[in-house]
Amino acid sequence: MSYDIDLLAVTSNKTTYERFKDHVKKHNVSSITLELFNVMGEYWESYPLRTEIDVAEFKTFFFIVKGKKIKDPSKYELAFDNYEKALADEKPIVKDILAKLIETDYATQVYDVCVKIGTGRGGDLLSVEEILNNYKKEVGASVEKSEVFVSPSLDYLSSTVASGGLTWRLKELNVALGPIRKGDFIIIAARPETGKTTFVASEASHMMTQLQPDEHVIWINNEEASNKVMMRVIQAAYQVTSSELLGDPKMFELAFLGQGGDRFLILDDDSNIKSANKISALFKEFKPGLIIFDQLDKVHGFQNDREDLRIGKLYEWARDVAKEYCPVIAVSQVDGTGEGEKWIQMNQLRGSKTDKVGEADAIITIGKSNEPGMDLQRYIHVPKNKLFGGKDTLEAHRHGCFEVDIDPARARYVSKWKVR
């Protein structure tokens, strides 16, 4: 009961009440406390100039509002006595009470799921993870200003730029974007048969060598056969053709493992791990230093009657993954308007036109001309760039357009950058 009384004590302030009103529910306080709390709201509406509750006035107001609905007045008299005593004592810490309310709310939701499963009335154990993720987000409402807002110091920016990150193999991308770091969510978009997987294999095989010894590249593959993708990654790592690779496969396998290839994890396309919840479990099991989704749109979860809304939620989730773990690269398709186009724009991404591009920190598009003799030329554009950059970044090229070559036989994109 002391927890309930503490709640009433801290919400005797109007500002604090407003902060709590969405979190007080029938399953995280007693029925009497809930009645008192709800009538508090009516009290504030009736006395808009009040900033603190006058207990005697509120008590009278309460009994007038509830009237004949009160069956046992003695219970409410006792509650008011305890309430007055709590106000006379030192008030508890607001954020602790609010955190307890939120915790109790979500614990009840988890309990309800477990009861449904235990009694055979449905329920999905994996949904508990989503409940816990929502809890982590909402619990932020119970902290102080200094804990959730940044200070006007530029130390963070300086330390971030100085901390390195993962650099790109293509010089053009180091010039435009700079290194990618934890929290960065990058979309790679192109038409089919343009070389998206080759591009990611070329870059990821380079970034793999920059990871810490306990970190992994985790490639969530749902596009091509996983074994084929792994072969492309090894080809890119050593810039060799498939014939050269198969000429001495053991040598290349051992060399790749020696460079950390055992930490380059490509999800087996037969694993049946396709939902966001199951994929999240992999990130907890194997510490990621770089996450790749090829393709993110095909990840299951966040069901909605409208596909654009489902995609929006999916990309929001991927951005949260980047914030929690490491940089995330998501491969996406370009719609039919990009066919044969060199310079692809953000509005040509297939699917959600707003939420998808809105969640990304940077977007890299790859164009390809259908003109004869241009099969091995690609056109890289950076229509969106909110990254910090790095020592090689040039401001004039933050949204640059770059012509590069593709060497599909060796799974590499080849830079044409010249010092300018």
Please write down the HEC assignment for all residues of the chain: CHHHHHHHHHCCEHHHHHHHCCCCCCCCCCHHHHHHHHHHHHHHHHCCCCCECCHHHHHHHHHHHHHHHCCCHHHHHHHHHHHHHHHHCCCCCHHHHHHHHHHHHHHHHHHHHHHHHHCCCCCCCCHHHHHHHHHHHHHHHHCCHHHHCCCCCCHHHHHHHHCCCECCCCHHHHHHCCCECCCCEEEEEECCCCCHHHHHHHHHHHHHCCCCCCCEEEEEECCCCHHHHHHHHHHHHHCCCHHHHHHCHHHHHHHHHHCCHHHEEECCCCCCCCEHHHHHHHHHHCCEEEEEEECHHHCECCCCCCHHHHHHHHHHHHHHHHHHCCCEEEEEEECHHHCCCCCCCHHHECCCCCHHHHHCCEEEEEECCCCCCCCCEEEEEEEEECCCCCCCCCHHHCCCEEEEEEEHHHCEEECCCCCC
Q: pLDDT at position 146, please?
A: 59
pLDDT for 46 beyond 50: yes
140/404: higher pLDDT: 404
How far is residue 264's CA from residue 147's CA, in Å, rounded to a whole number? 36
pLDDT for 403 beyond 90: yes
- Give residue 404's pLDDT band: very low, low, confident or very high (50, 70, 90): very high
pTM value?
A: 0.69
Q: pLDDT at position 127, please?
A: 81
Q: pLDDT at position 405, please?
A: 97
Q: pLDDT at position 157, please?
A: 63
115/181: higher pLDDT: 181
Q: pLDDT at position 327, please?
A: 97
Q: pLDDT at position 269, please?
A: 82
What is the average pLDDT across 378-403? 95
pLDDT for 358 beyond 50: yes
Token look-up 């100039």 returns: 49
**Cβ neighbours, 10 Å, residue 205:** 25
pLDDT for 106 beyond 70: yes
Q: pLDDT at position 11, please?
A: 87
What is the average pLDDT across 5-32? 86
- Give residue 1's pLDDT band: very low, low, confident or very high (50, 70, 90): very low
Sorted by sequence, the CB contacts under 8 Å of residue 229 that are 6+ apart come out as 197, 201, 219, 221, 266, 294
pLDDT for 142 beyond 80: no
**Per-residue pLDDT tens for 274-315?**
999 899 999 999 999 999 999 899 999 887 778 888 899 999
- Give residue 352's pLDDT band: very low, low, confident or very high (50, 70, 90): low
How far is residue 39's CA from residue 80's CA, in Å, rounded to a whole number? 13
**Per-residue pLDDT tens for 229-240?**
999 999 999 999
5/390: higher pLDDT: 390
